[in-house]
């Protein structure tokens, strides 16, 4: 009888754990998932607005929590990203249930990852272009892409030519794929596809910006899309 009561109590506790729908949350994200994150951070000693907007205040609270709990540090790829380890330490869980097939699971992870990459990339619009730059203080085109992927747990090659060689060609890009352009000989510029014929990239004259692939310059230089 005692064992039965204990099992019921444990099951109730597990069901009571709040869940969120995304694999990770990043600056620029909005919605109920962010509100749950903000509430959990406040329950752990922070004092931030619960407004559903992952802005600088929430970013600072996430970083402070990660440092205090040895989850990540300024040298880590996931510093400031509320991924599974951070969410778990706050008593939050991922609401995605196990899929019946490995393909379905991979698709779910891929979609969540792409969403995070796009959120990270869009949050960096306006960052300056710096040759060889790999941080928000300044990016070159490949440094920008590598940073957006790294912030969401994906390690990809550093240069455009290496990305081109490592990727799998796709006939029609989907959100999160990398689109390549021949601005010099061979693949020499790249960006992240956003959908609706738009891509985000760090241009030498614009910094991080969103451009349309139908623009005559980009349509003429377009080489193809690849998935990493």
Topology (CATH) of 102-227: endopeptidase fold (from Nostoc punctiforme) (3.90.1720)
The residue count of the chain comes to 228
Candidates 201, 207, 218, 225; catalytic one? 201
Is residue 65 part of the annotated active site? The answer reads no
Tens digit of pLDDT for each residue in 17-71? 455 544 578 888 888 888 889 988 988 889 999 998 989 899 999 899 888 887 8
How many other CB atoms are found less than 10 A from the CB of residue 220?
9
What CATH superfamily is the domain 2-94? PGBD-like superfamily/PGBD (1.10.101.10)
Q: Looking only at Cα atoms, what is the longest distance across the chain?
A: 75
Query: Average pLDDT over the chain, rounded to whole?
Result: 82
pTM of the model: 0.54
CA–CA dist 109, 58 (Å, integer)? 24
> What pLDDT, in 10s, does the model give residues 154-193?
999 999 999 999 999 999 999 999 999 999 999 999 999 9
Question: Which one, of 175, 187, 192, lies nearest residue 223 by Cα?
Answer: 187
Binning pLDDT at 50, 70 and 90, where does residue 212 land?
very high
48 counts as catalytic: no
Long-range contacts of residues 69-77, Cβ cutoff 8 Å, at least 24 apart: 77/150, 77/151, 77/153, 77/155
User: CA 96, CA 158: separation in Å to the nearest integer?
Assistant: 32
pLDDT at 227: 93
**pLDDT (0 to 100) of residue 66:** 81
Beta strands of 87-197 (E only): which ranges? Answer: 93-94, 134-135, 138-139, 168-170, 178-181, 189-195
Q: Among the options 23, 41, 62, 141, which is catalytic?
A: 141
Phi, psi of 190, deg, nearest 5: -155, 160
The domain segmentation of the chain, as residue ranges, is: 2-94, 102-227
How many angstroms separate the CA atoms of 86 and 68, rounded? 11
Q: What confidence score (pLDDT) does residue 51 get?
A: 92
Q: Which of 113, 189, 208, 225 is catalytic?
A: 189
How many Å apart are CA 108 and CA 126, to the nearest integer? 30
Q: How confident is the model at residue 223 (pLDDT cuts 50, 70, 90)?
A: very high
């Amino acid at each position: 009888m005692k064992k039965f009561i204990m099992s019921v109590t444990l099951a109730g506790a597990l069901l009571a754990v709040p869940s969120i729908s995304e694999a990770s949350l990043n600056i620029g994200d909005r919605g109920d998932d962010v509100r749950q994150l903000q509430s959990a951070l406040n329950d752990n000693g922070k004092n931030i607005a619960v407004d559903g907007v992952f802005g600088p205040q929430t970013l600072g609270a996430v970083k402070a929590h990660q440092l205090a709990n040895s989850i990540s540090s300024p040298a880590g790829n996931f510093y400031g990203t509320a991924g599974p380890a951070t969410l778990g330490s706050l008593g939050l869980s991922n609401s995605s249930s196990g899929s019946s097939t490995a393909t379905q699971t991979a698709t779910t992870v891929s979609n969540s990852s792409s969403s995070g990459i796009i959120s990270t990339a869009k949050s960096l619009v306006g960052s300056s272009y710096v040759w060889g730059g790999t941080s928000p203080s300044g990016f070159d085109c490949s440094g920008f892409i590598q940073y957006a992927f790294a912030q969401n747990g994906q390690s990809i090659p550093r240069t455009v030519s290496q990305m081109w060689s490592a990727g799998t060609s796709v006939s029609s890009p989907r959100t999160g794929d990398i689109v390549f352009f021949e601005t010099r000989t061979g693949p020499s510029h790249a960006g992240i596809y956003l959908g609706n014929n738009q891509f985000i990239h760090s241009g030498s004259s614009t910094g991080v910006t969103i451009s349309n692939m139908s623009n005559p310059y980009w349509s003429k230089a377009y080489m193809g899309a690849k998935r990493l």
